Structure 1
Amino acid sequence: MAIHSFRVLLIEDDPMVQEVNRQFIEKIDGFTVIGTAANGAEGIEMIKKLKPDLVFIDIFMPEQDGLKTIHQIRKEGHSVDIIAITAAADMDTVRLVLQNGAFDYIMKPFKFERIKKSLDNYRTFRNQLQNKSTLTQKELDELRFEREESENSDLPKGLNVVTLNKIIVYLNDQEQPVSAENVAEGVGLARVTARRYLEYLEKCGNVAIDVQYGGVGRPINRYITTRK
């Protein structure tokens, strides 16, 4: 049970996505949306006025994008937690968002279960911190590793979010279909490992397979992203 209702501000320029996010968040016990902003500049003003516990923020927005807004939130010292919820999948954006202390990074399109998992983790994290004035290393590790395991739990065993995102970024940069061997070399993985990720992405509909036939030997599967 949550200690109190966490107050959430949505910073998102698409009204339809705003409403979907609002409905998802308010289906989860202990969370209330207290306001919405259509861009980062408006979001900063609402943070100052409403003082939310948590901000859901998009990256691609007019007037002031999410990266600039997150940086400003931290530079100005606002005591608010951040969950990025965005279509941005490139590693530079992911790295910058996480470097600025985002609690979670959720990629569009997403399902209710992913939002619920993130907010359940957030509630647990905040409540455990609130119940203690200090933490032991063991308690801190349990909080961190429980969160990491939960983030990876949607993936097949042996796959992880960070490596998956690296492969997505690599594929997005390719103009022509590439083999599992190309992906392995480009990302720095064993070929068999790269193939497992590619098979998962193909099942999810994120990549398409282009079978290429050579002269002698088996045909070669080459992969191309479907997100361009």
Structure 2
Amino acid sequence: MINVLIVDDDAMVAELNRLYVARVPGFRCSGSASTLSQAQEMINDPQQEIDLVLLDVYMQQDSGLDLLPTIRESGRAIDVIMITSAADAPRYRPRCITGWSIT
């Protein structure tokens, strides 16, 4: 079972992602966070099962990208899928194709 953490400040989008994840065989939503601080707490909690993070890039108060160092520093093998609907999303395309270094 792949445990998915959804990080999105838009409650409707988070719920849609949760419903989608629930329909995919072998995946389950292990939690949802509407702020980076909530997500950081969940990632740093060893009891929280997380294999994959669906991460909103543009949040009201934060940039989802600011969560990447927390994931890296946790030492856990967590994959990330970044989600955005912003007009300047093309600027992130090269990073998504070649990989994003979070060292």
For the criterion TM > 0.5, the same-fold answer is: yes
1:41-190 equivalences in 2 (<5 Å): 41-49=37-45, 50-88=48-86, 89-91=89-91, 93-96=92-95, 98-100=99-101
Q: Which one-letter code corresponds to 2:44 in the other structure?
A: K
Deviation at 1:14, TM superposition (A): 0.4
* 2:75 aligned counterpart, secondary structure: coil
Deviation at 1:37, TM superposition (A): 0.2
* 1:84 aligned counterpart, secondary structure: strand
Q: Which one-letter code corresponds to 2:59 in the other structure?
A: M
Could you list the structure 1 runs, at least 4 aligned residues long, displaced by more than 2 angstroms after superposition: 75-79, 93-98
Q: Which one-letter code corresponds to 2:100 in the other structure?
A: Q
Deviation at 1:67, TM superposition (A): 1.0
Deviation at 1:18, TM superposition (A): 0.6
Match of 1:16 in 2: 12
Q: C-alpha offsets along residues 170-198 of structure 1, whole Å, 9 cap, x if unaligned?
A: xxxxxxxxxxxxxxxxxxxxxxxxxxxxx
Q: Which one-letter code corresponds to 1:22 in the other structure?
A: R
Report the Cα distance in structure 2 between the residues aligned to 1:95 and 1:42, rounded to whole angstroms.
29
Structure 2, unmatched stretches of 5+, are: none
Whether the 8 Å CA contact 2:9–2:59 is kept in 1: the answer is yes
Whether the 8 Å CA contact 1:56–1:85 is kept in 2: the answer is yes
Structure with greater contact order relative to length (CA < 8 Å, sep ≥ 6)? 2
Structure 1, unmatched stretches of 5+, are: 102-228
Report the Cα distance in structure 1 between the residues aligned to 2:2 and 2:64, rounded to whole angstroms.
21
Deviation at 1:73, TM superposition (A): 1.7
Residue 27 of structure 2 corresponds to residue 26 of structure 1: no
The structure whose Rg is larger is 1
Deviation at 1:70, TM superposition (A): 1.6
Q: For this pair of structures, how many residues does the alignment match? A: 96
Higher-helix-fraction structure: 1
Deviation at 1:76, TM superposition (A): 4.2
Q: Which one-letter code corresponds to 1:70 in the other structure?
A: L
